[in-house]
């Protein structure tokens, strides 16, 4: 079960960020509060992803299958960080 948690952690963070930004945009539209909340949610999700990235790197996994799972988990966390920044970019540029 722990392996699935590491494998899906990046995608779960990305989904939470996506739905949070969707809710913020639906409720507050283009107000300055929406931009502030977008920045706050983005920073929280990126910090959680960074924390999980560091924890995944630090974990000792001896078997080759575990090394493969670690590589996939790190790629998922990296992809989610890029996607989170990409989703927050319109609110940060305007």
Residue 93: what pLDDT?
81
Q: Which residues of the chain, if any, have pLDDT below 70?
A: 1-2, 59-65
Note the pLDDT of residue 79. Answer: 94
Q: What's residue 59's pLDDT?
A: 67
What DSSP string runs through 2-60?
HHHHHHHHHHHHHHHHHHHHHHHHHHHTTSHHHHHHHHHHHHHHHHHHHHHHHHHHHS-
Q: What is the count of structural domains for the chain?
A: 1
The parent domain of residue 53 ranges over 2-93
């Amino acid at each position: 079960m722990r392996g699935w948690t590491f494998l899906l952690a990046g995608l779960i963070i990305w989904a939470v960020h996506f739905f949070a930004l969707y809710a913020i945009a639906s409720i507050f539209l283009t107000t300055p509060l929406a931009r502030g909340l977008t920045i706050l949610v983005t920073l929280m999700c990126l910090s959680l992803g960074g924390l999980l990235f560091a924890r995944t790197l630090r974990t000792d996994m001896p078997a080759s299958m575990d090394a493969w799972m670690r590589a996939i988990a790190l790629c998922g966390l990296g992809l989610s960080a890029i996607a989170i920044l990409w989703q927050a970019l319109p609110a940060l540029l305007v």
